[in-house]
Structure 1
Amino acid sequence: MTISPEHELLVELQDLIIGTGSVAEFLGGLSIMAASSLSRATGTTVECGVTLKHNKKTRTVGGSTERAIHLDRIEQQVGEGPCIDALKVKAPVLLADVRTDPRWPVYQERLFDEGVLSALGVPLDLSDDATAALNFFVPTTGVFTEATINEAVSFARVARSAVLLAVRVATAEGAADDLSAAMVSRTAINLACGIIMGQNRCTQAEAMTILTKVSSHRNQKLRDVAEEIVKKVSGEEPTTYFDI
């Protein structure tokens, strides 16, 4: 059975997800793969940066080289360019020649100073609250032909599912971390209230009032005060003894 190039790419991307520890690290690896793919297709050195828009915030999260990251961040700094427009229109946006294109004068001047003459933004539509774009850069013109753009779009289409998976995994892990922290905090406060109730022979509401007053008087977080009380009595940090 013949394995298609698209299937091979998807397998490589899935392996990349497993082998990386964060979305930023994964997208950095993705940008290297994207740059290599277009460099092979064009016979020219192509650099690639990755922009991620998540929860209405847009930022550069990776690049095939440090220079690619720098070039991508220029667009974020000036607030204009093909990558930003690609995210808006959800279609590839080409900057064929920074010396003649009239659309983004500030950005184009910055690229020219960096020795870049052409750029291409290719979006990856992920979900309602997350989108990403590949930002390709070359030091000459005439590289981003129709065939090259189709190659970039094909890569983005295959990569989309892997990027979406990476973002969802990171979001789930972040939510789990937040929940874990909240549960540990709640455990400490409940234990501290129990200790205060035993020491003062008061109700839980009265114990909570005492704990809150101490927190306010010391200008410390409620959780920190609670953990201090528990540790003073038990000699150990409070722990939540069940899995999420």
Structure 2
Amino acid sequence: MTLTHETALELAKLAGLVLTEPDLDTALVAVTRVATAAVEPCDGASLTMRNRGVPSAPAASDAWAIELDRLQFVEQEGPCLDCLREGSVMRVRDLTTDGRFPNYGPQAAARGALSALSLPLVADGGTVGALNLYSRAPDAFDSDVVAVGELLAAHASLAISAATAYYSSRELADQMRQALESRAVIEQAKGVLIAQLGGSADDAFDRLVELSQRSNRKLREVAQTVVEVAMKGPQGA
């Protein structure tokens, strides 16, 4: 296998996806576009992942590639499903004649896909997905291309695992920050109500809950309004 400079640069891009993409969905799409650029015979790429045990296509380089994935889900056969089930590389030299996929193959060929390569994505010792490469030419993925694809899939597995962990932790951090902000504004609103109406902190909280229920608004929004009105003074009340 000869790794070209251009392919090496594309592989290097995978390492930086976590830092350059705004969210997980965009990062997954970026993986498929890097794959398309890194493997010369590839005309389109997609990812097949398990969603609660059911195969799904969360990302693709273009609409053509995702259509080829979804067709496999409908027919319940195809290289990406076999790759996902068996955890091994699936190479289809000619979709018009491959006897393993009598329903999917001709339909994929009718859509312009003549050969395919599906590579397992591995995390924690198990197959969690498949990277699927499609070509409009027959027998496009020779042994050298498969070797590059396997290297690409290994890099993609690491990038996807890192991105999933990163965006999950960032989402959790955002949720914690929002919870702390909500708590702070609720405490401020309780102080305002105690100053205005007297009573205890529990009484003030019950008053906020009552206002929230009556107005069908979130507790935090009601508390924010109470604080804002108090800050404006009598003229804003």
Q: Tell me whether the two structures share a fold, i.e. TM-score over 0.5.
A: yes
| In the alignment, structure 1 residue 141 sits paired with structure 2 residue 142 | no
8 Å Cα contact 2:45-2:60 kept in structure 1? yes
Question: Which residue of structure 1 lines up, in the alignment, with residue 222 of structure 2?
Answer: 225
Distance (Å, rounded) in 2 between the aligned partners of 1:70 and 1:225: 46
CA 1:78–1:185 in 2, change beyond 3 Å: closer, same or farther?
farther
Q: CA deviation at 1:69?
A: 4.0
Question: Which residue of structure 2 lines up, in the alignment, with residue 12 of structure 1?
Answer: 13
| In the alignment, structure 1 residue 160 sits paired with structure 2 residue 173 | no
8 Å Cα contact 1:54-1:130 kept in structure 2? no
Superposed CA deviations along residues 170-198 of structure 1, whole A, max 9, x for unmatched, are: 11111111112222222222222222222
Secondary structure, in 3 states, of the residue corresponding to 1:122?
strand
Amino acid in structure 1 at the alignment position of 2:200: T
Superposed CA deviations along residues 85-121 of structure 1, whole A, max 9, x for unmatched, are: 3233322223443333455555434412311122222
Amino acid in structure 2 at the alignment position of 1:113: A
Distance (Å, rounded) in 2 between the aligned partners of 1:184 and 1:227: 10
Q: CA deviation at 1:130?
A: 9.3
Superposed CA deviations along residues 191-241 of structure 1, whole A, max 9, x for unmatched, are: 222222222221222222221122112222212211111111124xxxxxx
CA 1:35–1:223 in 2, change beyond 3 Å: closer, same or farther?
same
| In the alignment, structure 1 residue 195 sits paired with structure 2 residue 192 | yes
CA 1:192–1:73 in 2, change beyond 3 Å: closer, same or farther?
farther
Given candidates 88, 91, 111, the residue that maps to 2:88 is 91
Deviates more, 1:225-234 or 1:121-130: 121-130
TM-score, normalization by structure 2 = 0.78
8 Å Cα contact 1:52-1:130 kept in structure 2? no
Question: Which residue of structure 2 lines up, in the alignment, with residue 182 of structure 1?
Answer: 179
Question: Which residue of structure 2 lines up, in the alignment, with residue 50 of structure 1?
Answer: 47
Report percent identity of matched pairs. 25
Given candidates 89, 109, 120, the residue that maps to 2:117 is 120
Deviates more, 1:69-78 or 1:197-206: 69-78
Distance (Å, rounded) in 1 between the aligned partners of 2:35 and 2:43: 9
8 Å Cα contact 1:9-1:158 kept in structure 2? no
Deviates more, 1:76-85 or 1:152-161: 76-85
Deviates more, 1:165-174 or 1:8-17: 8-17
Aligned alpha-carbon RMSD (Å): 3.3
CA 1:29–1:227 in 2, change beyond 3 Å: closer, same or farther?
same
Question: Which residue of structure 2 lines up, in the alignment, with residue 108 of structure 1?
Answer: 105
Question: Which residue of structure 2 lines up, in the alignment, with residue 239 of structure 1?
Answer: none
TM-score, normalization by structure 1 = 0.76
CA 1:33–1:130 in 2, change beyond 3 Å: closer, same or farther?
same
Distance (Å, rounded) in 2 between the aligned partners of 1:102 and 1:182: 56
Give the paired residue count. Answer: 230
Distance (Å, rounded) in 2 between the aligned partners of 1:180 and 1:106: 51
Deviates more, 1:159-168 or 1:49-58: 49-58
Question: Which residue of structure 1 lines up, in the alignment, with residue 25 of structure 2?
Answer: 24
Amino acid in structure 1 at the alignment position of 2:221: D
Question: Which residue of structure 1 lines up, in the alignment, with residue 235 of structure 2?
Answer: none
8 Å Cα contact 2:120-2:127 kept in structure 1? no
8 Å Cα contact 2:116-2:135 kept in structure 1? yes
CA 1:115–1:168 in 2, change beyond 3 Å: closer, same or farther?
same
